[in-house]
Amino acid sequence: MSALPQAEAATAPLIEARNVTRILPGVVPTTLVRNINLSIGDNEFVAITGPSGSGKSSLLYLLGLLDMPTSGEVLIRGRATVHMDEAERALTRLTLLGFVFQFHFLLPEFTVLDNVMLPMRALGRLSNEAMRERARGLLSSLGLGDHMLKRPDQLSGGQRQRVAVARALANEPPVILADEPTGSLDSHASEAVFELLRDLVDHKGKTVVAVTHDLNLASRMDRQIELMDGAIVGDKTVAPAPQ
Residue 91 lies in a domain: yes
The answer to whether 116 and 176 have CB atoms below 8 angstroms apart is no
Detail the DSSP E strand segments found in 77-143.
79-80, 97-101
Residue 58 lies in a domain: yes
The answer to whether 140 and 163 have CB atoms below 8 angstroms apart is no
Dihedral Cα 163, 60, 37, 224, nearest 10 deg = -60
- Report the pLDDT value the prediction gives residue 242, as an integer from 0 to 100: 52
**Entry pTM:** 0.89
CA atoms within 13 A on the CB side of 223: 16
Residue 138 lies in a domain: no
Residue 160 lies in a domain: yes
Residue 39 lies in a domain: yes
Q: Quick one: which of 170, 167, 171, 201 has its CA closest to 41?
A: 201
Sign of CA dihedral 85, 95, 206, 41: negative
**CATH number of the domain that residue 222 is part of:** 3.40.50.300
Choose between 104 and 77: higher pLDDT.
Answer: 77
Residue 126 lies in a domain: no
Q: Which residue range forms the structural domain that includes residue 163?
A: 6-107+153-237
**Structural domain tally of the chain?**
1
Amino acid of residue 166:
A
Report pLDDT digits (tens) over 150-163: 999 999 988 998 99
Residue 77 lies in a domain: yes
Residue 213 lies in a domain: yes
The answer to whether 191 and 16 have CB atoms below 8 angstroms apart is no
Rounded to whole angstroms, the Cα distance separating 1 from 3 reads 6
Element (H, E) at 175: strand 175-179
- Report the pLDDT value the prediction gives residue 27, as an integer from 0 to 100: 87
Report pLDDT digits (tens) over 196-233: 899 999 999 999 999 998 888 899 999 999 999 999 99
- Average pLDDT of 41-61? 95
